[in-house]
Structure 1
């Protein structure tokens, strides 16, 4: 059996080194390790002026207070959804139907919610997310298939908002504060915190679920239940209440586009689904936006398949008991190390290039998973993939902030989740072996790597944190460089928002050159 404890401490050691190297402490103490201050460091220091750092710190405190509680509530629930349904006595088929309903809800209802969030306000929809997800937690107390189905539908809507509205609010807030050049750092910090929340939630939920047994509230009926596996959902409910309160108190409202654009968009919109329609036409007429969506769907789809398959893959190689809690904690430590490595790499490499290397590396890890002859080598491949997950999310968050037009950001982010949900549904409804699934993910990620190279080739006009050095040396931290291409895409997409007849004619014509 693989030495899981030794592997955990090895991953923790690597994470500590990567975290120190990516922190501000490195510049202060690196001379002890024989490193001197370089011109690149001077550039970064000038870029992150005292005023910009103060703005960034204040913004991130407000954002993380809400975001980390939101992901904490999500992590609390994850391990116990299936266990709760099983404890209620539902069949495998019933449980599969409930899971499919959740992903289907995210795919259908979530798509339109993004457009509404862009027009009505991201802060409002963050509070709406907290309310909807809290209601989903409440439904878990009922041993009734119809009520649980309602909870899954609500949970699907909430999940789509979690992965779109929060990022959209953060990106627009950076632009309003003139600190868009610091977005990469913000996404890296958020991903690092997300991993910490995952570990904390796993430990707390495990302790809470073991306090009492799951049992009916009244002896007279068995519909309303409490205790046991429901405690993690109760804790998530409490966290979500604070998500809504903190968002209401600390966040300012922002929309897609500036005030004049918002008024123009409001006048143009005649139907509640116009946001989705405009986002669709914007996406299909820009290769950069389309490729970015396909890349995110392919990588995140592979990640979901990995979540479903790593347990049976390990069980096939190990006959004894597997310390699942320790393994999961090791995964999250590796993910934290990946986000720290991103923070290091972004100082000397274009964000989009980091994406190419991360996706290519992830492709290799799945190929290794499929062919690994031993549990130790398989575990090693798992950890390498989790490290690429830590690299991927801040990279993709930064890339989408550049490419996706602000006025339709949340709508397009939810549009990206449609192929992702199809991939997840496919993995749920087919009976693939772990080995076959890993080979499938290898092909998906190889395709994503190819598309990422195409995006890099299209980005001759794009900017990342290392471009426009003259501006950075002068301390120019405005949002103009980083958001230049998003503004271009926004202007181009507005041309597509004419009458439906015009859109239909354009969609039938040859694709424009990007």
Structure 2
């Protein structure tokens, strides 16, 4: 079965290369040199930020085990990270809109560097502090950088359609290529050079420091609502009112929470799904394969968003439906394929089928990120962008905390079934968003027609 891994990886690599090399004029958008310079600067910073994040991910759990902590204690540490993101996320988002997105991005670098430093201590309290700092940093990573980009893009007068180029390239590089290289680099530091499980965190801190230097030297500041009369509570309330009063924003938040909640649950479930009998599977290689599938998805998204049809709101219905079906595979194989009782062997036939389904899901993740960024740039008001984006993460973090707390309480098939249902609901909500997105235009046209009919003829 070992050859199976190489065939999947090689097949995905060939598809990604073919997609990138076969792009024609319809798949490309003509831009200006000024925009290209701006885009490349942002992609450099974003890639450094994501390198700092990806280097840590594979080794957090492992580091805690080397310090002698059990599954329960480690679970509490992870819950602290997601809980911190939930509690402080909206506050730091509001501060980013008020005090400046550039300052928030610099704060992300400092906070995450401090979190990396705490990994040198085996003390549980220090590690808990690191998780809290990491949760705050995560909230800043997934709101402030995108908010700065959208505001700066508009401030410089670039075409709105050009945003899709930056979004798709950011996902292709930051969530794909950088993730693969970071995994290989971390493996080099820990295994090949035998520098220990703390080494990836030190490397992450270095990349974050370099990114912070680029931000400080090249980025200008921008704000959400510069009004001095609005305090933090007023801005917080305004963001809540915006979500409650605009169904499009509320639907977008629900869709994002449902998809990302399923995605983070998948992160915890794919290992036991592929090795239910402690089969020997190459975790690092499979992770790299998933990231390659995500790159394929982002490459497809760049083609889709470069054209006027189909619209983002339209094709995302299909993406959510496909992702829902892909996570049903562990349930289907459990009923249709005879389970293997061999212990510590190679991956089973059902595991191979599930791996293909999981790669499909990761391709959907690659399409999701630039597409949701595009929709957020269209529907979320600029004055409270960071605040609203972190509002969306509140139900997400609650959901992930509940899953982490009860990860051993339910069979793995139940967990995958739950994620599949959530993704199908996201598809239905996306259909509703599509109909509402067109509704104002229809209403305006109808009102204009009525006005024309009621207007007296001047003869």
TM-score when scaled to structure 2? 0.88
Q: Counterparts of 1:100 and 1:328 in 2: how far apart (Å)?
A: 23
Q: How does 1:61-140 map to 2 (within 5 A)?
A: 61-140=40-119
- Paired with 2:402 and 2:430, the residues of 1 have a C-alpha distance of 24
Matched residue, 2:361:
385
**Post-superposition shift, 1:315?**
0.3
Contact 2:43–2:169 (8 Å) recurs in 1: no
User: Is 1:301 paired with 2:280?
Assistant: no
CA distance in 2, matches of 1:105, 1:280: 20
Structure 1 position 170, deviation (Å): 1.0
How far 1:59 moved relative to its partner?
Answer: 1.1
Q: Does 1:342 align with 2:301?
A: yes
**TM-score, structure 1 length as denominator?**
0.79
Equivalent of 1:162 in 138, 141, 145: 141
Do residues 266 (structure 1) and 266 (structure 2) align?
no
**Residues 123, 254 of structure 1: 8 Å contact kept:** yes
Could you tell me how far apart the structure 1 residues matched to 2:411 and 2:375 are?
A: 34
Deviation at 1:461, TM superposition (A): 6.3
| Matched position secondary structure for 1:228 | coil
Q: How far apart are the structure 2 equivalents of 1:81 and 1:273?
A: 35
Q: Is the 8 A contact 1:63 1:251 kept in 2?
A: no
Deviation larger for 426-435 or 377-386: 426-435
Q: C-alpha deviations, 1:11-63, integer Å up to 9, x for none?
A: 111111122234xxx34xxxxxxxxxxxxx4xx87xx55xx432321111111
Alpha-carbon contact 2:275-2:351 (below 8 Å) kept: no
1:453 matched to 2:431? The reply is yes
How many Å apart are 1:137 and its aligned residue?
0.4
Give the Cα–Cα distance (whole angstroms) in 2 for the partners of residues 305 and 319 of structure 1: 20
**What is the CA-CA distance between 1:91 and the residue it aligns to?**
2.3
Asked if 1 retains the 8 angstrom alpha-carbon contact of 2:93 and 2:143, the reply is yes
Q: What is the distance in 1 between the residues matched to 2:180 and 2:428?
A: 33
Counterparts of residues 311-390 of structure 1 (less than 5 Å): 311-316=271-276, 320-346=279-305, 347=307, 348-372=309-333, 373=337, 374-390=350-366
Distance in 2 (alpha carbons) for counterparts of 1:344 and 1:15 = 12
Greater shift after overlay, 409-418 or 425-434? Answer: 425-434
Residues 52-94 of structure 1 deviation map (CA, whole Å, 9 limit, x = unaligned): 4323211111111211100100000001111111100112221
Matched, 1:408 2:409: no
> How far has the Cα of 1:177 moved from its partner?
2.2
Where has structure 1 moved over 6 Å in runs of 4 or more?
none
- Asked if 1:285 is matched to 2:286, the reply is no
The count of residues paired between Structure 1 and Structure 2 equals 419
Once the two structures are superposed, the pairs formed by residues 131-210 of structure 1 within 5 Å of their partners are 131-178=110-157, 179-194=159-174, 195-210=176-191
Distance verdict in 2 for CA 1:453–1:255, change over 3 Å: same
Q: Aligned ranges for residues 362-511 of structure 1 at < 5 Å?
A: 362-372=323-333, 373=337, 374-430=350-406, 431=408, 432-460=410-438
What are structure 2's unaligned runs of at least 5 residues?
338-349, 442-459
Runs of at least 5 residues in structure 1 that lack an aligned partner in the other structure: 28-40, 214-226, 464-514
